[in-house]
Amino acid sequence: MAIIEDHSKSPAPDHLVDPIAVAIRTREPRDPGRSGHFTTTDPRRGRDLAKSPLVTRLLKDRRLQFFLILPNQIIFWLVIVVGLVGTAVPGLNFATAITWYLWFCLVFVMMVGVGRAWCAMCPFGGFGEWLQRRSFFQRRHVSLGLGLKMPEKVAQYGFLLSVGSFLLLTWIEEYFNIAGPGNPMATSFMVLGIVGTATVFFLTFERRTFCRYVCPLSALIGSVGAMGAVAGFRTRDREVCQSCTTKDCMRGDADGYGCPWYTWPGSADSNATCGLCTECFKSCPSNNIGLYVQAPLTSVVAPTRRRADIAWAVALLFGLVLYQQLNALTLFSHLDSWLNSHTGFPQYPNPIDYLGVIGLVAVGLALLSRVFTSLFARPDFQPRPGGRAFVDRTSRFRSFFVPLMYAIIPVVGADYFARQLPKFLQHFPRVLVSVGHLVGAGSTSSGLYNASLMASNRGIIAVQVGVVVLGTLASVWTTWRIASRDLVPVSRAPRTTRVSAVVMTVGLGVLVSVLYVLMNAAD
């Protein structure tokens, strides 16, 4: 394994600025050093927490992220070991109980509340990064591994790679009934597989290439996390960045690493790719970085440079959670069995209906956007002042599809959260029993093992539908705001466009709610 120099003072390659944004032809500056490339809008960033001297001291401390990651690192290695050598009873085994009755639910709470909070403390990325940096928290100038860049041809797909790995992991999880939960060893192998893959990527590619492009959770956290109240680390004054010659936030300096997520804080207008690692805060020589909190949903509504890969990620992720809802229905399980018997596939889930439903939902949403385009697009609209009018179908379609997919993020996020609730509400007490079992105290006959936070199916359905209703209301608000800002200028019937977009959002919320009623609290 090579030890490579950290060329922290060499010019920042274009690749680091934001290859995805360049690839999808947004107005992201290719070279942050060239002035005059900022968009004129500077989205509201909210309140800067780092103005407090106490918070500043904390964020400047190089040990901060290490101490956030350490407890989770210990728990996850415990999960791996206990899953392999502990009891085979899933509800009693610490590995399965904490992973499927608590962790997955908690990650959703964190992403809806804070955005990439989990990424700041994630053991998968943390372990690979410690190895790559050859350090737990000190700033070192040589790193371990090959330090390759993700080829631009691959990087241009942005979050779609992460969606692909999430779909693959979910299919494997369903096939082996890992989250059922089934055999605890399967949970260990799954966690080991993620840690192992992450480590290989960290030692092959530079920085957090794995997190930015490949991690199965990254697209979900990056898109649904836009609902969160943390805007992330952003520049305080963009004028200062325009005249900054060092760009230490991207290249790194003696105090901090260059942004591991390839995010330039000077141009960020959402929290999608800020892993809250604090490195830019440490390295900016002009003290021009703040940690901003904002009103929830701001990062859904505010971005001026919307990304097509995020829009497709939302559509595909919605397809996945709808598939999971559908497959809890008896009718659908018959379809899966029928497909298996005709294709010779051994068991659920048949890849044809798995990918078919996900693809159908994404294509259905795209077709819906196509209908919007046909009905409402202004043929003479110029996407940019002085630019060409809509001349091709793709740009017309994108002008409706991308904003509409951002608008439904809250209902998709609510759907994912509601999907996790039955396991949490029915079985959370088992987490406590499994902890006791580690020290020889818990058993399947204990009252706590058979207790639940909510036993009745009706109660669980009510909570699930309540969550979806809240998500739908939030989506109605984001749809109205996004339609007013992004769709009205491109529409020849602004009022009808806005109302139709809201009707679409409400329709999706109703569909999801009806499915939860039909699922009868199935987990």
Q: In the complex, which residues of this chain contact ligand SF4 (CB under 6 A)?
A: 118-119, 122, 124-125, 198, 211, 215, 217-218, 221, 232-233, 235, 240-241, 244, 246-249, 259, 261, 263, 265-266, 274-280, 284, 286, 288-289
Is the CB of 287 or the CB of 520 nearer to ligand SF4? 287
Nearest to 310 by CA among 44, 23, 31: 23
Three-state SS for 231? strand
Tokens 């987990």 correspond to what residue?
Answer: 523
For the bound state, the minimum distance from the C-beta of residue 419 to ligand SF4, rounded and expressed in Å, comes to 18
| 355-360 own/partner pairs: CB under 8 Å, 24+ apart | 355/167, 357/319, 357/322, 357/323, 357/326, 358/167, 358/316, 358/319, 358/320, 358/323, 359/319, 360/319
165 or 188: CB nearest ligand SF4: 165
What gap in Å lies between CA 417 and CA 175, rounded to an integer? 22
Nearer to ligand SF4, 277 or 368 (CB): 277
User: Going by C-beta distance under 8 Å and a sequence separation of 6 or more, which residues neighbour residue 327?
Assistant: 333, 336, 348, 349
Q: Are 77 and 188 in contact (CB under 8 A)?
A: no
State which residue, 234 or 423, has the beta carbon closest to ligand SF4. Answer: 234
Nearer to ligand SF4, 120 or 487 (CB): 120
Shortest Å distance, C-beta 233 to ligand SF4:
4
Amino acid at position 7, single letter: H
Q: Give me the least distance between CB of 13 and ligand SF4, in Å please.
A: 15
Residue 66, SS3 per DSSP: helix
Amino acid at 457: N
Q: How far is the CB of 415 from ligand SF4 (least distance, A)?
A: 20
By C-beta, is 125 or 509 nearer to ligand SF4? 125
Taking the complex as a whole, the smallest distance from the CB of residue 87 to ligand SF4 amounts, in Å, to 28
Taking the alpha carbons at both ends of the chain, their separation in whole angstroms is 44
Least distance in angstroms from the C-beta of 474 to ligand SF4: 23
CB 222 within 8 A of CB 272: yes
Work out how close the CB of 305 gets to ligand SF4 at its nearest, in angstroms, rounded to a whole number: 16
For residues 54 and 85, what is the distance between their CA atoms, to the nearest angstrom?
Answer: 44
Distance CA 327, CA 356 (A): 13
Nearest distance, CB of residue 235 and ligand SF4, angstroms = 5
Residue 261 or 312: which CB sits closer to ligand SF4? 261
User: Residue 215 CB, nearest distance to ligand SF4 (Å)?
Assistant: 3
Of 124 and 376, CB closest to ligand SF4: 124
296 Rama sector, left if φ>0, alpha if ψ -120 to 50, beta otherwise: beta
Please state whether 52 falls in left (phi above 0), alpha (psi between -120 and 50) or beta. beta
| Residue whose CB is less far from ligand SF4, 93 or 288 | 288
Query: What type of residue is 315?
Result: A
Q: Where are the alpha helices (DSSP H) in 428-485?
A: 429-438, 457-482
